[in-house]
Homo-oligomer: A and B are copies of this chain.
């Protein structure tokens, strides 16, 4: 299986659409010049294409074995992981003083898209480790940081996030795992499920971050604390001590990401697993929420990466497979068939739009963290909070549609596992589920991100969209149908404004019933906005003779997006307003009437 990092498009997006120049003026990111970034992407692109991508198939076919509590990854997996650690790709944004690369989040977004695109099942290990690092960096005391951070940053140790329990999925208030204080530590017990890379032998230790309740904790979400529970205890000198009381009791047999171990972990079956409190008691969920933006952005990027991969494979097949004859009588490759081009265009245009939204969220994360101006920090934080559920919710749903189109383009061969197209559909199918389902993202968008601030963040976005529309209205070069592009962006801004006002005007459950439809509509409208900006930049590049091939294709892709993707926004917006009542009218009894 081949994967080529789309570096031209990535550089176009981060330079022209995310303002890399301004990012590299932020405190601590001064080294992130276009030249350095371009070199980083070349290198990470090579690693993705040459090391990770070739393992993607064996990961899927061979998968994992589980014996005596141990998980064995497929051949080549551990070696590739050691290479990743050695090359320093495990945690690209971490502080150089802790062994990281100190790269901007937006550059890491490219790297994560590449690594996940090349091999999602593999990259999940680092994704989870990055989460553990963020938790410890952000909330643990210096002692815990000193013991755990250095080896997590390099990837010598890996990390996990232990939230879900059988009765507590989307609703973490129902968590029952316990932590009893004893001396300087806690004894953690309980069962956690769906723990990604909860057990494996690629690294010498695994650091579990675990949500559990202290003995006298309040019920519900306000009584959950966060603990560090290492697989092997760590001695005072930093060497590994005895095995902790946590073990993997099973791994799941899943639709996709076969080589990523999804573990059920039992904590404390023999008296209690030694754990250390992170930060303050009862603030576990609050910490998780603070980390959620990065985690959800990561899943959005995963979907963008798999979309890109599926698109590349579909293009390759369509360029090689002959079927039918041209009007001139010669054999025709199916890329000549208009419907194949329609499908490839959908895959390409939506992947590129979703990429920009994700990278813009990442850029705002950089500004929110590092800008010297507090108002700018706050504004970018609002933008992050608004964009995250959209990038997570929309890219993942698109990822499924794109991968499914990839299967379709392959025809009968697409249904044969050896072809590889079906794997992308199976792999990407998880992305709308974990780190909060699309439904959860949508409730977050409508409730926390729009209702709670009275629509301030959404209206700031509308203003930016109108700025793009105005800029488009002033352009009249010959490269594209600017009227159509500009009209779509204006319309997109109007729709976001209109739906925001609709949400704010409701008093019942209608926004909950319509939430996913709102989210999808926002996604498509934001896609129009960023594609509008892409058109402006592309036309400037053509004028300046910079990457003119990429820029000319971009203009066609923007046109395609406006005419073939954007029209759906109208349907969604009308569904939001008309549909909610008839959703709520369907009662449980209506679904049982035929049973």
A residues touching B (Cβ–Cβ < 8 Å)?
Answer: 4, 6, 8-9, 164, 167, 169-171, 173-174, 193-194, 252-256, 312, 315, 318-319, 322-325, 333, 335-342, 344-345, 348, 400, 404, 407-408, 411-412, 414-418, 422, 425-426, 429-430, 432-434, 437-439, 442-443, 484, 509, 512-513, 515-517, 549-550, 553, 556-557, 559-560, 562-564, 567-572, 574-575, 578-586, 588-595
Contact = CB atoms under 8 A, between A and B. Distances in A.
A550 B170 contact: no
A315 B348 CA distance: 35
Contacts of A338: 509, 512-513, 515, 580, 583-584
A318 B439 CA distance: 14
Contacts of A584: 338, 341
A590 B255 CA distance: 33
A484 B345 CA distance: 35
B415 A433 contact: yes
Contacts of A6: 594
Contacts of A335: 588, 591
Nearest to A8: B594
Contact of A567 (B416, B563, B564, B578): B578
The oligomer's copy count stands at: 2
A408 B432 contact: yes
30 contacts: A4-B594, A9-B594, A173-B325, A255-B417, A256-B415, A315-B591, A319-B592, A333-B588, A338-B513, A338-B580, A338-B583, A339-B512, A342-B516, A342-B517, A342-B579, A345-B586, A408-B438, A425-B429, A484-B578, A556-B586, A559-B582, A560-B579, A560-B583, A560-B585, A563-B578, A563-B581, A564-B583, A567-B571, A568-B571, A570-B574
Contacts of A590: 553, 556-557
Nearest to A333: B588
A564 B568 CA distance: 13
Given A439-B337, A570-B574, A170 B434 contact: no
B550 A594 contact: yes
Given A339-B513, A415-B429, A579 B564 contact: yes
Given A415-B430, A579-B563, A553 B593 contact: yes
Q: Closest 8 interchain pairs by CB? A: A571-B571, A338-B513, A564-B579, A339-B439, A255-B422, A338-B512, A563-B578, A563-B579
A415 B345 contact: no
Contacts of A563: 575, 578-579, 581-582
A586 B339 contact: no
Contact of A169 (B323, B425, B579): B323
Nearest to A417: B253
A184 to B, nearest CB: 35
A285 B333 CA distance: 23
A164 B553 CA distance: 36
B339 A516 contact: yes
A557 B589 CA distance: 13
A172 to B, nearest CB: 10
A507 to B, nearest CB: 15
A199 to B, nearest CB: 17
B255 A345 contact: no
Nearest to A336: B588
Given A312-B595, A571-B571, A585-B556, A412 B171 contact: no
Contact of A574 (B8, B567, B589): B567
A452 to B, nearest CB: 18
A348 B574 CA distance: 21
Contacts of A319: 588, 591-592
Contacts of A171: 323-324
A433 B418 contact: no
A4 B568 contact: no
A595 B320 CA distance: 15
B433 A411 contact: yes
B549 A593 contact: yes
A595 B2 CA distance: 11
A98 to B, nearest CB: 33
Contacts of A324: 170-171, 173
Contacts of A429: 404, 407, 415, 422, 425
Contact of A564 (B164, B170, B582): B582
